[in-house]
Amino acid sequence: MTTQLDAAATVREAYSGAWNHLGEMVRLIWLPGSLYLVLSIAGVFVDVEEQRSLAVVLNLASLFLWPIIAVAWHRFILIGDAPPGRFHFAFGRREARYLVVSVFLTLLFVPGFILGATPAFMPANMTASLLSFFGALLVMVAIYFMVRLSLLLPAVSVGDPVNPRLILERTRGNFWRLVLVLASVVLPMMLVAVVVGSLLEGGPVMRVVAVGILSLVLIFFAVVNIAVLSVAYRELIGPPGTQAPDTGDY
């Protein structure tokens, strides 16, 4: 029988854990985390139309920094891995696989987006309407599988097998529970970001205050986001190391 995720307990553990261990988790990734935060904030002030090359560089740098942060946090939460030392900045095999899985989850949306965008270049007729409908349908299917397969991210972080079939089997019947725990992170973060973002329209002092508050908010909710995935992985898939050893094969 498939395990049913206790959404309330997962959210409670994620938030309390993030709050109680925030200092330790920031210490683990302070260097890549600081760079990621600076690049993210800088990206807000970049005009994509006029500074396209700079925007691409910032996004690519952030893309490679996030796996370093996420893998360190997943490992801390799931196996208590907290390497000694002041600097932790390494992009190795685990981080590379985390990036590959992240790209894979993003690519799930490509067919739906392509099909949905095609009618924009066609006359308005029944065919265009059908393409739009099926494009939207494929996007919903992509969301469904992306939410369930997101538990591959903790798996690669701790060296467990990358087994999409196992993940889909263990998450059967848990889609809405996973949506709920993810929404418990995304919705509050968006609300705070909107409120704090309104301060960016003020004077220089207000902007500095807004950026400072927004930075703290982003750090905390980033930790909670990793925590809910880690807790959900542990509860649905099992503790790290209980699966067959990871041979590196997909």
The answer as to whether 132 is a domain residue is: yes
The answer as to whether 13 is a domain residue is: yes
* pTM across the whole model: 0.86
State the pLDDT at residue 121: 77
**Tokens at 129, concatenated:** 């309407």
Residue 205 CB-half CA count within 13 A: 0
Give the separation between CA 212 and CA 199, rounded to whole angstroms: 11
State the pLDDT at residue 1: 57
Q: What's the number of domains the chain is made of?
A: 1
89-92-98-103 Cα dihedral, nearest 10 degrees: 100
- Give the mean pLDDT per block of 10 residues along the chain (250 residues): 87 95 90 87 74 85 92 94 78 94 95 86 80 91 96 95 92 95 93 78 70 81 95 92 54
The answer as to whether 201 is a domain residue is: yes
The answer as to whether 246 is a domain residue is: no
**Tokens at 165, concatenated:** 């079939």
The answer as to whether 245 is a domain residue is: no
**Tokens at 45, concatenated:** 């002030």
Read off the pLDDT of residues 6-16 as tens digits, 9 standing for 90 and up.
999 999 999 99
Residue 210 CB-half CA count within 13 A: 18
Look-up of token digits 């997101």: 150
Give the separation between CA 43 and CA 98, rounded to whole angstroms: 23
The answer as to whether 52 is a domain residue is: yes
Residue 191 CB-half CA count within 13 A: 6
The answer as to whether 241 is a domain residue is: no
| Identity at 250, one-letter amino acid code | Y
State the pLDDT at residue 16: 95
Give the separation between CA 206 and CA 33, rounded to whole angstroms: 24
Give the separation between CA 7 and CA 193, rounded to whole angstroms: 24
Domain of 48 in residue numbering reads as 7-236
Instruction: Using DSSP, state whether 192 is helix, strand or coil.
Output: helix
Give the separation between CA 2 and CA 22, rounded to whole angstroms: 32
